[in-house]
Structure 1
Amino acid sequence: MTIMKSVDYAIQVNCIEDTQCKLKNIIERISYFISTPLARSATVHLAEKIEFPILTLCSKRSWNYTRFLLEMPILLKKLNKTTTDIQLPYDFLALTNLEDLWSGYGINLKSDLIECYMGRNRSCEDSGSWARVYTVFGSCFSYETDEPLLETGPFNNFYGKFRIKKKDLEAEIPNGLKNPLATASVGWTYLLHNEHFTPALKARFGQDLSPGLNQDSEASKIVVTGTNVWHKPCVEPATDPKYSVSKCELGCFTEHHFRLSNVGTEKWCRLPFMTEGKHKSARLCSTSEEYRQTESLVFKMLEDGLWDEGQCKCMPRCEETLYGNNAETVVGKRNTESRLRLFYASKSYESVLEKLAYKGVPLFCDIGNSMGLLIGASTLTLIEIIEWAAWSLSNLVKNIKRRIYHGKIRADN
């Protein structure tokens, strides 16, 4: 009897411990499923044709100093000031509005880009088009091809030859016309991006091309497809086809500028590149003082850490095309010229697919396995208990019958 109780107790203890393990395993599987783990897989594709990235070019000389000098007499006469009293470019708002100032007095691409081909013996204008865009560098230009590329290689894609006049290279530019975000007073910077991207703030992170240097820049393309999950949300293209992180950050920057200026909606004004956010339709700065104060705060936000992208809650796109480049630079023949070759080495590109690493079917399979073991353990214990109960009941009945039998014998005697 004592041995059977010990065996039964051991069985029950093992059963309890095993049951706890199975329940713990089930809870762990459910918790893992709720955490929505993601897995990434990369695939290399070889296409028949490939989209060329949008190329945005900015001159580090934001302004056409020669035009300012030519029109200086008109400004002096209107403001009744001397040359030493003029603050460039701000005071020229007395002659024009801010957008015309940026476009009309900014660097003209044609004065810098003296040769441009997109494909063998095809001019850039025959294969695509240039558009003026506004960034923290002022007036820049974006080039977009009309059709995907059928040919690749350094002699079949973009070729640009830049030139800066020697007098401009040696000229002393007034401080007001120098952009503090530029790494030099002359030269160019370029950026590769997709159609949803805005270079307004990101132009300052572009690839530098200095006078006297030639670059062969190999482009690369990656298509990233993400999964919209609770702990890593993204914006579906169907929800907002024109959305991009760069536009969201520009809107965030504009709103932060508005709050830091602390002048109210009526007095606050924006610069031409501030085209996103709640105040994207606010008026452009119209006076020299407004322009100077607004631009000064922009530079402080970007240079002195008054703002950074981490302050913005911008979700990525669920589907994004990213472009990169690997540039090799050599010294050219003339210090007033530069050459840029931008090309694909082949029509291959990489796609990155993000998907759930643990879906519902594996979850239910794991739970089913654990439940099967759990149920098996409980059935075995139940059988042991029934067997012990039957054996105990049988012994009890035998003892009772034995006592009754012996009691009758004594009574007869």
Structure 2
Amino acid sequence: MSDKQTQRNMEQVTRQGTGLAIITESPSEMAGSGRKTPRTEQETEERECTSLKEHIAKFGDGTTFHGVRFVTDYKLHFLRRLVWVCIVGGMTGYLLYGISISIMTYYQRPVSSVVKINYVREIPFPAVTFCNYNQWKKSQVPPDFLDAVRSLNPANKSPVDVEYLKSHNVMNLRDRLINDTHQIEDMLLECTFKAANCSADNFTRIFTDFGLCYSFNDDPEDVYYIHQSGSHNALFMKINVEQQEYIFGENNAAGIKLLVHPQGQRPLVKELGIAVSPGYETLVGVQIKQVLNLKEPYESNCTDGDLRFSNNYTVPLCQYEHRIKNIQERCSCRDMRHPGDKDEDECPLSKYYTCLLPAEANFAAKDKSYDCQVPCNLTIYDTRVSFAYYPGQHHLDELTRMTNRTESDIRKNVLDVRIYFEELSFQKIQEIPSYEFTSLQSSIGGYMGLLIGASLITMFEFLDFILVTTATYLMKNREVKRLKGNRVRGKEDRHEGSTTNTEERPYFIQK
């Protein structure tokens, strides 16, 4: 045994009495004893890099993403791999572009309109409302009131004496108009419906934007039905407009204003009605359209909103109610033609000139628009009007004998009107989504299959690869940091317990 070995053994025996043994071994002895030498930091990083490449290559060989295996195969030539990188990158970019276009199209909520003609065995007959162009009968009102009404005629260009209007102010105009207007019993000379006689009892009195009018078949609980089309299965009315009773009012024409509309819907005769003139036979052919719109988030953004004065919601009725509200707020009273509660004050005659007419003109001039959404379910009665000269000469002679009227009187006052269905059918126009979520799925799947030959499972493969690789890297990185920390602490311990022999590395073992 050499002197150095003997000295080390003596030092070991000497320190055993303190309960702590110091064993020193040189690096060569550590290698000779079979103990593993810690890797250097560079070796660890190189090993990690090699492991990551192997992991990527293994993923590329097994993924269903076409072309990736040519990119991750490190055995291939660099140029070939570069070409495949360009191909895979280009296809992936085009895929992302196609997916973004599909998603934007989906959120634009495009719709298509489906038009279908539905033939039925019976069809509900519409409500028919008509109004005489003249509201106040000349024989029913005093002369001073006639002058006051004449001053309110929009065609009147002469100055209006406001003091005169105030001195002849009339309250409760609605009640007075009911008694002083043209009565249905006087105007309706003849009436038939489906070849059966009807009378004034089949009509109800109603106030509209045109004034006092009369409606046929307007009860939603008791609707008449038609089983055959054509002008013989129609509502026929022979009406005397009583032109000799006309005075200067809001209208300068003679005849009736007629509107075909659904039951329960307030008739806007002034805005939407058709004019029917005396001296003609007027044929009104009717066709039904049913329009079904889509709610939000689609562009039509329809509503089933409620209205105050109508059971059915339409855009014109919504705007009409806004106009009523605007005028009432400005004038603090209600036009006799407008609907409202009984406790709301009606405007006197003088206010029509000083407030009501200017407020309505101002409302129209400013073209005020309100957010009136389209209805989700809308029934429209389209009308096609045709005329014939009435009465013909052969019939005129008979009428003059039967009614004791002159030819001039008949041509000025009498008109015939027929309202009928052209066909027992209705046209249904329905909005349907043209690009739903299933369409979006199909578009994305088509792009993926066409460009990269992948499916939704491929996305989970990438997700699995990313998660596993990231977790492995983090664990290895933590292990490397731990080894570095141990190495630093070992160096500090060796520095504190170092001996004169710098080639030895002490290890402390608790006895």
Q: Do both proteins adopt the same fold according to a TM-score greater than 0.5, normalized to the shorter chain?
A: yes
Which residue matches 1:191?
259
Contact 1:164 1:211 in 2 (8 A): yes
- 3-state DSSP of counterpart to 1:232: coil
Contact 1:237 1:319 in 2 (8 A): no
Contact 1:55 1:193 in 2 (8 A): yes
In structure 2, the CA distance between the partners of 1:253 and 1:293, relative to structure 1 (3 Å rule), is same
Which residue matches 1:163?
240
Contact 2:282 2:418 in 1 (8 A): yes
In structure 2, the CA distance between the partners of 1:89 and 1:167, relative to structure 1 (3 Å rule), is farther
Pick from 339, 355, 360 the counterpart of residue 275 of structure 1: 339
Mapped to 2, the partners of 1:248 and 1:318 lie a distance apart of 14
In structure 2, the CA distance between the partners of 1:288 and 1:124, relative to structure 1 (3 Å rule), is closer
Which residue matches 1:366?
443
Letter aligned with residue 327 of structure 1:
V
In structure 2, the CA distance between the partners of 1:136 and 1:298, relative to structure 1 (3 Å rule), is farther
Contact 2:284 2:420 in 1 (8 A): yes
- 3-state DSSP of counterpart to 2:178: helix
Which residue matches 2:285?
218
Which residue matches 1:101?
176
Deviations 1:247-278 (A, max 9, x none): 3112211233245x3x6xxxx101134337xx
Pick from 351, 370, 374 the counterpart of residue 316 of structure 1: 374
Contact 1:271 1:294 in 2 (8 A): no
CA shift at 1:343, angstroms? 0.5
Which residue matches 1:330?
388
Contact 1:15 1:377 in 2 (8 A): no
Unaligned runs of 5+ in 1: 76-83, 383-413
- 3-state DSSP of counterpart to 1:344: strand
Mapped to 1, the partners of 2:166 and 2:188 lie a distance apart of 27
Mapped to 2, the partners of 1:157 and 1:115 lie a distance apart of 13
In structure 2, the CA distance between the partners of 1:192 and 1:301, relative to structure 1 (3 Å rule), is farther
Pick from 59, 62, 84 the counterpart of residue 135 of structure 2: 62
Contact 1:270 1:282 in 2 (8 A): no
- 3-state DSSP of counterpart to 1:317: coil
Deviations 1:353-385 (A, max 9, x none): 211111111211222232345654799xx9xxx
Q: Percent identity?
A: 19
Contact 1:199 1:246 in 2 (8 A): no
- 3-state DSSP of counterpart to 1:233: coil
CA shift at 1:283, angstroms? 1.9
Pick from 55, 76, 88 the counterpart of residue 15 of structure 1: 88
Contact 2:184 2:200 in 1 (8 A): no
Mapped to 1, the partners of 2:389 and 2:166 lie a distance apart of 37
Unaligned runs of 5+ in 2: 1-73, 149-159, 392-410, 463-511
- 3-state DSSP of counterpart to 2:304: coil
Which residue matches 1:250?
320
Letter aligned with residue 273 of structure 2:
G
Deviations 1:126-180 (A, max 9, x none): 8xx3222222321112211632222332122100111134634xx6x34xxx21x
Is residue 2:125 matched to residue 1:52?
yes
CA shift at 1:196, angstroms? 4.3
Mapped to 1, the partners of 2:277 and 2:136 lie a distance apart of 17
- 3-state DSSP of counterpart to 2:123: coil
Letter aligned with residue 210 of structure 1:
S
Contact 2:165 2:350 in 1 (8 A): no
- 3-state DSSP of counterpart to 2:89: helix
Letter aligned with residue 436 of structure 2:
K
TM-score by structure 2 length?
0.60
In structure 2, the CA distance between the partners of 1:236 and 1:214, relative to structure 1 (3 Å rule), is same
Is residue 2:365 matched to residue 1:305?
yes
Letter aligned with residue 22 of structure 1:
L
Contact 1:215 1:327 in 2 (8 A): yes
CA shift at 1:15, angstroms? 1.6
Contact 1:269 1:294 in 2 (8 A): no
- Shifted more, 291-300 versus 31-40: the winner is 291-300
CA shift at 1:117, angstroms? 1.4
Which residue matches 2:114?
41
In structure 2, the CA distance between the partners of 1:199 and 1:306, relative to structure 1 (3 Å rule), is farther
- 3-state DSSP of counterpart to 1:153: coil
Mapped to 2, the partners of 1:144 and 1:317 lie a distance apart of 23
Is residue 2:225 matched to residue 1:148?
yes
CA shift at 1:219, angstroms? 0.7
CA shift at 1:27, angstroms? 1.0
- Shifted more, 135-144 versus 235-244: the winner is 235-244
Mapped to 2, the partners of 1:152 and 1:91 lie a distance apart of 56
CA shift at 1:85, angstroms? 8.3
Contact 2:336 2:347 in 1 (8 A): no
Bigger-Rg structure (1/2): 2
Letter aligned with residue 368 of structure 1:
G
Mapped to 2, the partners of 1:57 and 1:224 lie a distance apart of 25
Letter aligned with residue 228 of structure 2:
E
Mapped to 2, the partners of 1:90 and 1:54 lie a distance apart of 39
Which residue matches 1:390?
none
Deviations 1:300-337 (A, max 9, x none): 247x52445xx021112211111011111122122321
TM-score by structure 1 length?
0.73
- 3-state DSSP of counterpart to 2:196: coil
In structure 2, the CA distance between the partners of 1:362 and 1:86, relative to structure 1 (3 Å rule), is closer
- The size of the alignment, in residue pairs, is 346
Contact 1:98 1:284 in 2 (8 A): no
